[in-house]
Amino acid sequence: MACGMIGLLGVLPVTMLESCMTLPMLRTTSKNNNIVISKTKLAAEKKIFVLRNDDLQYDVLLVKNLDNTYYAMYMQCTHNDNPVQANDKGLFCTAHGSTFDLEGKVTNGPATQSLKKYLVSEDADSLTIHIN
């Protein structure tokens, strides 16, 4: 609905909003500095997921590798403590323009350091993201 409205306003071409609603945002809880998420919540056809957690100031991006393993990174710009956003090409900071690839490496400054990465372990039913 919102996508269509913006398209109608002519602010952005409708075709460029085709990605609307395609980045899943999953609400999570944490325990003992771990975020545990059931695999059933992870749509098979999606490559990246935004995990929202009330204990963390910023979201966590969960990325699925080609071999179906996962890694995660903290969505905080390493430049000046602002949130970063993600799409299927990378992450970007709206405050000062830094961009990062999906591995968290800086592709354009002013940030100079990669995004903080978290280890992800896996069992049959769930993923555990180790925040510390």
Contact residues: another protein, CB under 8 A: 2-3, 6, 11-12, 16-17, 19-23, 25, 50, 52, 55-59, 74, 76, 78-81, 83, 85-90, 92, 94-97, 99, 101, 106-110, 112-113, 116, 131-132
Cβ at position 66, least distance to another protein in Å: 19
Closest to another protein by CB, 19 vs 69, is 19
- Bridge partners of 62, per DSSP, are 49, 72
In whole angstroms, the minimum distance from the beta carbon of 113 to another protein comes to 7
The DSSP secondary-structure symbol of 83 reads B
Output the smallest distance, CB 52 to another protein, in A.
6
Cβ proximity to another protein, 30 vs 124, nearer residue: 30
Amino acid at 107: T
Cα separation, 107 vs 119, in Å, equals 22
Residue with smaller CB distance to another protein, 55 or 122:
55
Q: Which is nearer to another protein, 31 or 125 (CB)?
A: 31
d(CA 30, CA 81): 22
Closest C-alpha to 131, from 34, 6, 22: 34
10 Å CB burial of residue 29 (0-12, 13-18, 19+) is exposed
Q: 21 forms bridges with which residues in the sheet?
A: none
